[in-house]
Chain A
Amino acid sequence: GNSVTQMEGPVTLSEEAFLTINCTYTATGYPSLFWYVQYPGEGLQLLLKATKADDKGSNKGFEATYRKETTSFHLEKGSVQVSDSAVYFCALSGVVYNFNKFYFGSGTKLNVKP
């Protein structure tokens, strides 16, 4: 079946540090991959996505590359800011009985200290 596994948090970094949040997936077929972000007190919002192998999604300085060979979609940012403190969710959409269904990881909390 389909599933998403992401690294457990919390992750605590100093401002301007490099960020990697690991995400691996199991899926049948050709899923699309997503990163969602949930800022404190707010709802989930899409951060970036990639719809096929080798695609790179990017937004707000964050990047993730769809690696089919390693079934991974790791989130990276070269220099984090305090305002990036949030919970990050990796997700995939996969075809199940001809319908697309979304699967979310458990979330990784990022704390960025000034």
Chain B
Amino acid sequence: GAGVSQSPSNKVTEKGKDVELRCDPISGHTALYWYRQRLGQGLEFLIYFQGNSAPDKSGLPSDRFSAERTGESVSTLTIQRTQQEDSAVYLCASSFRLDRTEESEQYFGPGTRLTVT
């Protein structure tokens, strides 16, 4: 079946502009995650959605970052007034609930490479 998809695959923007990144999770996956991966670095958690509950926004680095998700479908990550330090690959992942206490592994999308000039 279809995996997690992200768009665009590449985005080049000028400093100060706003960008919007999109993630389509696997159908039926209740949990959705956004991560940032700078060149040669590990995964930096940004935000986590689980079903219709309030998202965990604890990883968002500043108020320029925001994300939305409608129900269990598409999510958008918005970065306002982009800065050069925002340049990174933005990864989206989804997972589903196996039972009351266990979640499946995360399924990752290919990422969006953002370059701020």
Question: A32-B102, A99-B53, A105-B42 in contact; A44/B108 too (CB < 8 A)?
Answer: yes
Consensus secondary structure, chain B interface: strand
Complex alpha-carbon distance, A104 and B22, angstroms: 22
Q: Does A73 contact B (CB under 8 A)?
A: no
Within 8 A of A (CB), among B67-117: 91, 93, 95, 97, 101-103, 105-111
Question: A43-B110, A51-B102 in contact; A106/B97 too (CB < 8 A)?
Answer: no
Q: Does B65 contact A (CB under 8 A)?
A: no
Consensus secondary structure, chain A interface: strand
Q: Is the CB of B41 within 8 A of A106?
A: yes
Question: A43-B111, A93-B103 in contact; A100/B42 too (CB < 8 A)?
Answer: no
Minimum-distance CB pairs A-B, first 5 = A100-B103, A106-B42, A107-B42, A44-B108, A104-B43
The bracket for how many chain A residues form the interface is 20 to 34
